[in-house]
A = this chain, B = another copy of it.
């Protein structure tokens, strides 16, 4: 929001939401800063798994299976988030290579990272999928082993009833990269996990909590970051007033994720034509219509500034009007 009272050195506070992840927020911020030539800080970045930090309150010292991402990166991110007792599917296979024999090079030959635990005696208390799986087969096997087992270990007797909670950070079925056709996103792993769970348990229910756009939790987390940015710049800000009066604008290219989520959060949604949305002039997305459709993110920024200037004039006029009223 542009507002004379919330100066912030005339900068509009902003955060960047992505369903990407697998790297710490600091690293993503540095990448984006370099790409855009604008300094972006870690506390302006909302990755798919960023709001999973709040789970660290409950799971700080509980044994958590962290799934997805390259090597041990997501386990490291989880530790930074405050999870102090983290294992990965790779740790399990390093402990007992026969748990997943379909690795090339063979299981056990390159898995030096096991922490020496006997996983038979270390039940898990939650499974958290932080990022895209780098080995669907291994991760489906280990996750279903834990979720099916009576005692939530990797080799416990199968009860075919979900043993512990499952959290997953991003349900996008596909995403776009350099390849001419969309690639599988983390949602593809979810599809396979649900299908394997059904096949193995004969259709037992599987419950899970989703993070990432368009889930509400992602927008609540972003609002907290926005509030903090304003508080950091103007410590005297009345946070209660801020929460009731602020206007948040969302710019995005993906109606099903960006616009659906922004609309659900009560933000003003602006859809750009530079990405997923392929509608022509005058068109809007039918399933998730945006408040405004523009060609480019720059048009969105201009529209936001104009809207805010109108609001500021209206606010000023109503203040003048209320001042002139006798009490």
- A residues at B contact (CB < 8 Å): 70-71, 96, 98-104, 106, 132-137, 140-141, 145, 149, 155, 158, 173-174, 177-181, 183-184, 188-189, 191-192, 194-196, 199-200
Measured CB to CB, the nearest residue on chain B to A194 is B195
Measured CB to CB, the nearest residue on chain B to A106 is B70
Measured CB to CB, the nearest residue on chain B to A195 is B195
Q: Which residues of B contact A104 (CB under 8 A)?
A: 70-71, 134-135
With known contacts A71-B104, A194-B195, A99–B200 Cβ distance under 8 A? no
Q: Beyond the given A70-B104, A99-B179, please list 10 additional residue pairs across the A-B interface where CB-CB is below 8 A.
A: A101-B183, A135-B135, A137-B184, A137-B188, A140-B184, A145-B181, A155-B179, A155-B181, A174-B200, A195-B195
With known contacts A71-B104, A191-B199, A200-B173, A155–B180 Cβ distance under 8 A? yes
Cα A177 to Cα B141 with chains together (Å): 14
Contact A192 B140 (CB under 8 A): yes
> How far in angstroms is the closest Cβ of chain B from A132?
5
Contact A196 B188 (CB under 8 A): yes
* Assembly stoichiometry (copies): 2
> How far in angstroms is the closest Cβ of chain B from A186?
10
With known contacts A133-B137, A184-B137, A184-B140, A101–B177 Cβ distance under 8 A? yes
Contact B135 A98 (CB under 8 A): no
Cα A195 to Cα B184 with chains together (Å): 13
Cα A179 to Cα B101 with chains together (Å): 10
Measured CB to CB, the nearest residue on chain B to A178 is B98
Q: Which residues of B contact A183 (CB under 8 A)?
A: 98-101, 141
Q: Which residues of B contact A196 (CB under 8 A)?
A: 184, 188, 191-192
Q: Which residues of B contact A200 (CB under 8 A)?
A: 173-174
Cα A96 to Cα B71 with chains together (Å): 22
Cα A196 to Cα B195 with chains together (Å): 9
Cα A180 to Cα B95 with chains together (Å): 13
Contact A181 B158 (CB under 8 A): yes
Contact of A136 among B106, B136, B181 (CB under 8 A): B136
Contact of A137 among B136, B158, B174, B181 (CB under 8 A): B136
Q: Which residues of B contact A155 (CB under 8 A)?
A: 179-181
Cα A158 to Cα B134 with chains together (Å): 25
Q: Which residues of B contact A191 (CB under 8 A)?
A: 192, 195-196, 199
Cα A106 to Cα B71 with chains together (Å): 10
**5 sample A-B contacts, Cβ–Cβ < 8 Å, listed by A number:** A134-B137, A136-B136, A136-B137, A137-B184, A141-B188
> How far in angstroms is the closest Cβ of chain B from A137?
4
Q: Which residues of B contact A98 (CB under 8 A)?
A: 177-179, 183
Measured CB to CB, the nearest residue on chain B to A187 is B199
Q: Which residues of B contact A103 (CB under 8 A)?
A: 134
